[in-house]
A and B are shown apart, each in its own frame.
Chain A
Amino acid sequence: MLQFLVDTALRASDLALIALGLSMVYGLVKFPNIAHVQYAMLGAYLTFFLRAAGVPLVGAILLSCAVTGLFTLAMHLLVFRRLLRSGPAIAMIGSLAVAMLIVAALQGVAGSFPRMFDLPLSAPHEFADARITTTQLLTVGTTGLLLVGFSLLLFFTRAGRAMRALASNRALADASGLNAERITRVVNFGSGAVAGLGGSMLALSTGAHLNLGHDLLLPVFAAAILGGLGNPLGAVAGGLLIALTETVVTNLNFGFLFGKPVAFLPVAYIGAASFLILLLALLFKPYGLFDRQVRRV
């Protein structure tokens, strides 16, 4: 049972940071940025190369976060700000092009062979019947701390209030004298840096590989949509729900349904589980689980 919770927490922390950034930026620019998951992959590769160049792991991760954040900011300023003038659909297709370019560049530079981190091996910690490695413990801890810090920032500071105001009513926020452009830039940098961190921490266990971004695309979007795009903490809750479902679906013995002692769902369908949640969410709660607005359609 405890192992089940540990697995859920690990998967949720993989998704949470990336979904958080995606949702936060969506609130300000109002288009779903498909390239966001590729920023995570970029961060993973940067961390790998920095570490290979001799930078200690923590320094490599921090540096890679900063570079990924700057790259995200540059993409916003050079590409998406221009494309948004032609509407969200064009910007979304543009993010597709940016995603292709990032994958192509990394494939050209790093090749298609996965790059594993050679971390020192240590025996996993055991609590009751659950096992967790030091790396995993640190990953989940970092994610948790960051989420708590972000919530404090969002709800108890001026900057956080400005971000929420801008996301919920841009015209009114502009009229109240908020500097929308500056906030959008800061949020873009932050979301890129957080995505780089999420990708780097994910790569610590799976290695940096070219499908890292693509594999994250649908679970992360499912999490962000479940939480309501534009609601960053909702995205975290959505990520938790996706992680919970994926873990339940893989660990549950469906034998009782078929009258057989053992019947597990094939592992290959785990991915499909999160797509299915996404579809159900879009069908029944298209504006997220936490949407309280009444809309006329």
Chain B
Amino acid sequence: MSDFLISSFTIAGIYALMALGLNLQAGWSGLLNFGHIAFAGLGAYATGIVIQAGGSGWTGALVGVGLAMALGWAVARLGRQLGSDYWGIATLAIAEILRTVATNEGWLTGGAQGISAIPSLFDGLPRPWNAVAFLALVLAVVAVAALALRRVANGRFGRALRLMREEPQLAACMGYDLKSLKTRAIMAGAAVTALAGSLYAHYMSFAGPDYMVASETFLIWTMVMIGGLGNTAGVLVGVLLVQAAYSAVPFAKDFFGFGSDLAGALRLGLIGLILLACLLWRSEGLIPEKLRKIPA
């Protein structure tokens, strides 16, 4: 049981990092990134490939973060002249192209089998403690990322992002370079997400094209939307809720004794239902973003 809890929380922590990365783009900057998972996929693959080539885990993570930031820059450049919904579809297409490449370029990525035998980080420790140590590492990274992002959000950069989201023309009038703001927001989000992908590759000892399916992006979107777009605490709550729903399904499956098809359907349906209910009745999320009001 405790093994199960530790693993659930570790995965929740990794998703929390990805969700924080998405929140920076979608929550504060209002960018509809539907290809967010590509950044995590790059992080995971870079870790796997670098380690296979004899490099260290650190190098892998750094390469992944670098690649993801480069992709983020390219994606942001692409978005210069597109409406936000068109841009969302473009990001979805980019993520799918990357997944197709990862599935087919077997010499680099191992094809559909992916890259396995990526060493876990704390193999030296005895059995339960290696998982605990990994969980502690993930939680520490999440805490650092959440605090740092919160600081950024309340600082000048975060205020500029929110102004760009609400009143782009006003922001431009006040001398902000919107293109550069968007680019920096996407690149920062990409870096955090690639780090999460790298951690995930270590945790699962595996990197494969399944990490990059579009439904993973939608899952992260659900987490961010449920918790509260634009609120760091809200995002973390959303991640916990979705992860709890996910972890509860296997128990329900055993308890009611239904098949794996129905269990998969239940997972997907539950997430869809929560997301839809949230959008219809509480579109600002469970913990809405607090906007500072200046007393008149």
Contact = CB atoms under 8 A, between A and B. Distances in A.
Nearest to B112: A268
B286 interface: no
A103 B268 contact: yes
Contact of B265 (A31, A97, A108, A286): A108
A101 B272 contact: yes
B155 interface: no
B96 A96 contact: no
A160 interface: no
B78 A283 contact: yes
Nearest to A88: B85
Contact of A278 (B90, B104, B268, B269): B90
A243 B228 CA distance: 41
A34 to B, nearest CB: 9
B85 A89 contact: yes
B145 interface: no
A278 B276 contact: no
A286 B82 contact: yes
Interface stretch (A1-9, A79-87, A144-152, A256-264): A79-87
A279 B79 CA distance: 11
Interface in A179-219: 214, 217-218
A282 B268 contact: no
Given A275-B96, A283-B78, A96 B275 contact: yes
B256 to A, nearest CB: 13
A89 B272 contact: no
A105 interface: yes
Interface string B115-127: 0000000000000
Interface string A147-162: 0000000000000000
Nearest to B103: A268
Interface string A254-288: 00000000000010110110011011001100100
Interface in B30-57: 30, 32
A82 B281 CA distance: 10
Chain A interface SS verdict (over half): helix
Interface string B54-81: 0000000000000000000000001001
Contacts of A89: 30, 32, 84-85
A275 B271 contact: no
Contact of B221 (A31, A96, A266): A96
Contacts of A172: none
Contacts of B267: 104
Most A CB within 10 A of own CB, among B93, B97, B225:
B93
A145 B156 CA distance: 59
Contacts of A133: none
A32 B275 contact: no
10 contacts: A94-B279, A97-B276, A100-B218, A104-B269, A105-B265, A107-B264, A108-B266, A218-B96, A275-B96, A278-B93
Interface of A: 31-32, 79, 82-83, 86, 88-90, 92-94, 96-101, 103-105, 107-108, 111-112, 214, 217-218, 221-222, 225, 266, 268-269, 271-272, 275-276, 278-279, 282-283, 286, 297
Interface of B: 30, 32, 78, 81-90, 92-94, 96-97, 100-101, 103-104, 214-215, 218, 221-222, 225, 261-262, 264-269, 271-273, 275-276, 279-280, 283
